[in-house]
């Protein structure tokens, strides 16, 4: 047997271990991928439904989604419908493309006989990406509901944005001012106000995340503003 403490033994040993581990992990990842993708899709449906104040469990999300979401399509920055599947369009990937080629997903829902438009948002928080879905009334201006998600904001502080309580603050706020200009909705420190536009309170102790949401609203919803004007 080779000298167990020798350099060549150590190197060969380490290489074999690493190769075996790589094969095992690749196999596990490939085998479980379809099931994981399904879970991620259901999670996304739950978030979309969350912006309509519909809470679902993993089991009934797909059914509710099919019932409530009547149409979905993608638009370009000029607000024209273009080819594409809204559900598989990832706002994060779209941001890497030139603006004229970006696709923006739109979902339509029917609630009590009234049409709602759900727009997709993507931005950055303190530690990583944040995202959300904004449901607007048929005037394409007034917020019906909103849901937010995050990858790893601080629990208890920035992470509070994914709670329904934060999304509820947006109800009834408007993205356009009286002159019909897009002004977004501001996130302000609790107690402060924003001039010339609607605003909601940010999260105490989650300042950077709140600023991230503020920027996300004006960037992501702003990208839809031609679509919203139509």
Partner 1 sequence: MGLSEKNKLILLGPLGKDNPITVQMLGICSALAVTSKLEPSIVMALSVTVVTAFSNLVISLLRNTIPSRIRIIVQLVVVATLVTIVNEILKAFAYDVSKQLSVFIGLIITNCIVMGRLEAFALGNKPWPSFLDGAGNGLGYGIILIIVGFFRELFGSGTLLGFQVIPQSFYDMGYSNNGLMILPPMALIVVACIIWVQRAKDKDLQEK
β-pairing, 104-111 vs 186-188, is unpaired
CB of 7 to partner 1, least distance (A): 9
Nearer to partner 1, 14 or 88 (CB): 14
Nearer to partner 1, 38 or 67 (CB): 38
CB of 61 within 8 A of CB of 46? yes
CB of 48 to partner 1, least distance (A): 16
**Residue whose structure tokens are 């002159």:** 179
CB of 1 to partner 1, least distance (A): 10
CB of 17 to partner 1, least distance (A): 6
Give the start-end residues of each E strand in 126-217: 129-136, 143-150, 186-188, 199-201
Nearer to partner 1, 60 or 70 (CB): 60
Nearer to partner 1, 5 or 83 (CB): 5
Nearer to partner 1, 97 or 163 (CB): 163
CB of 102 within 8 A of CB of 77? yes
Nearer to partner 1, 35 or 100 (CB): 35
Q: How far apart are CA 160 and CA 148, in angstroms?
A: 9
Give the start-end residues of each E strand in the chain: 69-75, 81-82, 104-111, 114-124, 129-136, 143-150, 186-188, 199-201
3-state secondary structure of 217: helix
Token digits of residue 97: 């493309």
CB of 24 to partner 1, least distance (A): 6
Complete DSSP assignment for 98-135: -GGG--EEEEEEEETTEEEEEEEEEEE-SSSEEEEEEE
Residues that bind partner 1 (CB under 8 A): 4-5, 9-10, 13-14, 17-18, 21, 24-25, 28-29, 32, 35-36, 39-40, 42-43, 58, 152
CB of 87 to partner 1, least distance (A): 17
CB of 91 to partner 1, least distance (A): 20
Token digits of residue 165: 């309580």
Nearer to partner 1, 36 or 60 (CB): 36
């Amino acid at each position: 047997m080779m000298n167990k403490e020798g350099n060549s033994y150590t190197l060969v040993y380490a290489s074999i271990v690493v190769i075996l581990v790589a094969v095992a992990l690749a196999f596990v990842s490939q085998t479980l991928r379809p099931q994981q993708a399904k879970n991620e899709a259901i999670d996304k449906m739950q978030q979309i439904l969350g912006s309509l104040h519909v809470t679902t469990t993993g089991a009934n999300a797909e059914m509710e989604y099919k019932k409530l979401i009547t149409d979905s399509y993608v638009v370009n920055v000029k607000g024209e419908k273009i080819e594409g599947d809204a559900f598989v369009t990832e706002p994060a990937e779209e941001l890497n493309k030139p603006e004229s080629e970006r696709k923006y997903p739109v979902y339509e829902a029917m609630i009590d006989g009234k049409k709602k438009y759900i727009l997709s948002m993507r931005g950055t928080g303190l530690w990583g990406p944040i995202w959300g879905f904004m449901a607007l009334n048929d005037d394409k201006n007034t917020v019906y509901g909103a849901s937010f998600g995050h990858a790893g904001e601080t629990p208890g502080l920035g992470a509070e944005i994914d709670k329904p309580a934060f999304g509820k603050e947006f109800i009834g706020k408007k993205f356009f001012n009286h002159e019909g200009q897009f002004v977004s909705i501001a996130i302000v420190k609790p107690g402060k106000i924003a001039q010339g536009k609607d605003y909601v309170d940010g999260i105490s102790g989650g300042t950077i995340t709140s600023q991230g949401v503020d920027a996300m609203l004006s960037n992501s919803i702003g990208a839809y503003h031609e679509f919203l004007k139509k």
